[in-house]
């Protein structure tokens, strides 16, 4: 049994990211799971960000099992998964731009931006014609429209499953495929992350079943928001560990207080941690009042 934290090295972690990391660690350790770190570096990477993120996690007392895994080093696993799906007729070429998808009529009850199936049943001649204009992305030919996942905070959650992108038109593997392959290969059976990703869980869990994996149990936790109710970001001021500690703030104590936990180390926080008691409301964080 294993839990994980999987940041993208696109910049420094803010205190909300660290809160989610701590919750992922607590959920794993409190249930006897291993805890691993995975760097999701397939897209935006800022030089030095990965090391700063690892330093921040260690600085608040988090530890992890085994070496850090990087998605950029796992292409063969993604290629094998894609080949397996393609061999079963579960992949098709798509030539749509994002704008075309947004502008297309959506299926009933589908959320805005859900793929409407435009390229699903093109003839070979139609595909040949479209290849002259732009390279194709590869999409999953989903055989269900909804899927249900189990979430420790939200219960049974059913969401839309559409034909998600597996490989982008530029040849890069898509996040939805990479995260599912990684979780399955690493034996991840508990995924703790922000609740902004709850709607993605059904399509990822469905994809996991197609690849022969058991979907994990999810714990989608509330985000940290600024005083205006927007997602916390660098523009909100002193939000990183180094910035807050330069002002004399004990970042672990700050996060622990937001969760109603007591202790001066993560291991001490385990004494009073209960996943069912995780606050359901967003954490409103105002650096000016900290």
Angle at 173 between CA 216 and CA 224, to 5 degrees: 55
pLDDT value at 134 more than 80:
yes
pLDDT classification of 12: cutoffs 50, 70, 90: very high
- 127 annotated ligand binder: no
Residue-wise pLDDT tens digits, 240-259? 999 999 999 999 999 999 99
Please report the pLDDT score of residue 176 as a whole number: 96
- 184 annotated ligand binder: no
Please give the residue that has the higher pLDDT: either 133 or 24.
Answer: 24
The pLDDT of 179-197, averaged and rounded, is: 97
- 175 annotated ligand binder: yes
Please give the residue that has the higher pLDDT: either 237 or 194.
Answer: 194
Please report the pLDDT score of residue 236 as a whole number: 79
The pLDDT of 38-55, averaged and rounded, is: 94
- 193 annotated ligand binder: yes
Please report the pLDDT score of residue 100 as a whole number: 84
How far separated are the first and last CA of the chain, in Å rounded?
37
- 27 annotated ligand binder: no
Crossing angle for the helix pair 175-185 and 201-210, nearest 10 degrees? 60
- 8 A C-beta contact, residue 212 and residue 64: no
Fold for domain 75-180+206-218? Rossmann fold (3.40.50)
The pLDDT of 172-199, averaged and rounded, is: 97
pLDDT classification of 233: cutoffs 50, 70, 90: confident
Report the alpha-carbon distance of residue 39 to residue 34 in Å, rounded: 17
- 218 annotated ligand binder: no
- 96 annotated ligand binder: yes
CATH dotted code for 2-71+238-289:
3.40.50.620
pLDDT classification of 43: cutoffs 50, 70, 90: confident
CATH 3.40.50.620, the chain: domain bounds: 2-71+238-289, 75-180+206-218
Residue-wise pLDDT tens digits, 57-115? 999 999 999 999 999 999 999 999 999 999 999 999 999 988 888 877 765 556 666 78
Please report the pLDDT score of residue 103 as a whole number: 78
Please report the pLDDT score of residue 102 as a whole number: 81
Computed over every residue of the chain, the mean pLDDT equals 94
The pLDDT of 7-28, averaged and rounded, is: 96
Please report the pLDDT score of residue 114 as a whole number: 79
Please report the pLDDT score of residue 44 as a whole number: 82
């Amino acid at each position: 049994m294993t839990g994980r934290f999987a940041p993208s090295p696109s910049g420094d972690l803010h205190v909300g990211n660290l809160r989610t990391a701590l919750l992922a660690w607590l959920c794993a350790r409190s249930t006897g799971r291993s805890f691993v770190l995975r760097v999701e570096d397939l897209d935006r990477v800022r030089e030095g960000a990965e090391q700063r993120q690892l330093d921040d996690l260690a600085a608040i007392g988090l530890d992890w099992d085994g070496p850090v895994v990087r998605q950029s080093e796992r292409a063969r696993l993604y290629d094998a998964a894609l080949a397996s799906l393609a061999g079963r007729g579960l992949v098709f070429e798509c030539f749509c731009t994002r704008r075309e998808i947004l502008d297309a009529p959506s299926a009933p009850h589908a959320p805005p931006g859900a793929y409407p199936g435009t390229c699903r049943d093109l003839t070979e001649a139609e595909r040949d014609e479209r290849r002259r204009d732009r390279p194709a992305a590869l999409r999953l030919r989903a055989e269900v429209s909804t899927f249900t996942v189990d979430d420790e905070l939200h219960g049974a959650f059913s969401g839309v499953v559409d034909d998600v992108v597996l490989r982008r038109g530029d040849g890069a593997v898509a996040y939805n495929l990479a995260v599912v392959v990684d979780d399955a290969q690493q034996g991840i059976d508990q995924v703790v992350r922000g609740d902004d990703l709850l709607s993605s869980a059904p399509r990822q869990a469905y994809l996991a079943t197609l690849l022969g994996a058991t979907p994990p149990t999810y714990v989608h936790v509330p985000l940290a928001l600024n005083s205006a109710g927007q997602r916390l970001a660098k523009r909100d001021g002193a939000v990183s560990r180094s910035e807050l500690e330069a002002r004399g703030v004990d970042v672990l104590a700050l996060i622990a207080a937001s969760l109603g936990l007591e202790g001066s180390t993560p291991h001490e926080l385990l004494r009073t941690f209960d996943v069912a008691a995780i606050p359901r409301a967003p954490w409103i964080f105002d650096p000016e009042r900290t």
